[in-house]
């Protein structure tokens, strides 16, 4: 089994003021993912034909976690998107 691969950790915005917020997304893929190509064809009564392809990825579900080296940063997992986190920076004294 191949390990998951983290392609990017995206922080938006990358600079925030004290007490500010940011969103962090972990973009990762299953190392064992398999891509299947699907092909659909439609034909009319005159013999005209059109074909279109799409890709389907079969992969294990991934669990994402996020930590900060500053324990005063509040990290909350987004309930709708398991790879997204909301950060609240501390207010400086």
Confidence of residue 15 (pLDDT cuts 50, 70, 90): very high
Structural domain total, the chain: 1
Average pLDDT of the residues in 54-83: 95
Q: Output the CA angle 24-27-54, nearest 5 degrees.
A: 135
| Predicted pLDDT of residue 93 | 72
What is the percentage of the chain residues whose pLDDT exceeds 70?
100
Section 63-68 average pLDDT = 96
CA atoms within 13 Å, Cβ hemisphere of 81:
9
Q: Looking at the domain assignment, is residue 48 inside a domain?
A: yes
Q: Mean pLDDT across the chain, nearest whole number?
A: 95
> How far, in whole angstroms, is CA 92 from its chain's centroid?
31
80 inside domain: yes
Per 3-state DSSP, what percentage of the chain is helix, strand, and coil (rounded to 5)? 0, 50, 50
Q: What is the mean pLDDT of residues 72-76?
A: 96
Residues ≥6 apart with Cβ < 8 Å to 33: 57, 58, 59, 60
Measured in residues, the chain has a length of 93
Structural domain including 59 reads 5-88
Within a domain: 27: yes
16-59 pLDDT, tens digit per residue, is 999 999 999 999 999 899 999 999 999 999 999 999 999 999 99
In a domain, 93, yes or no: no
pLDDT at position 74: 97
Strands (E), 1-93: 5-12, 21-29, 34-43, 49-58, 74-77, 84-88
């Amino acid at each position: 089994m191949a390990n998951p691969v983290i392609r990017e950790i995206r922080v938006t915005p990358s600079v925030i003021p004290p007490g500010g917020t940011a969103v962090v997304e972990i973009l990762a893929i299953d190392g064992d993912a398999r891509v299947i190509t699907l092909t659909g064809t439609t034909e009319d009564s005159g013999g005209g034909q059109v074909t279109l392809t799409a890709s389907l990825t079969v992969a294990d579900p991934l669990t994402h976690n996020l930590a900060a080296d500053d324990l005063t940063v509040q990290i909350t997992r987004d309930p709708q998107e398991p790879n997204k986190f909301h950060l609240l920076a501390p207010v400086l004294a």
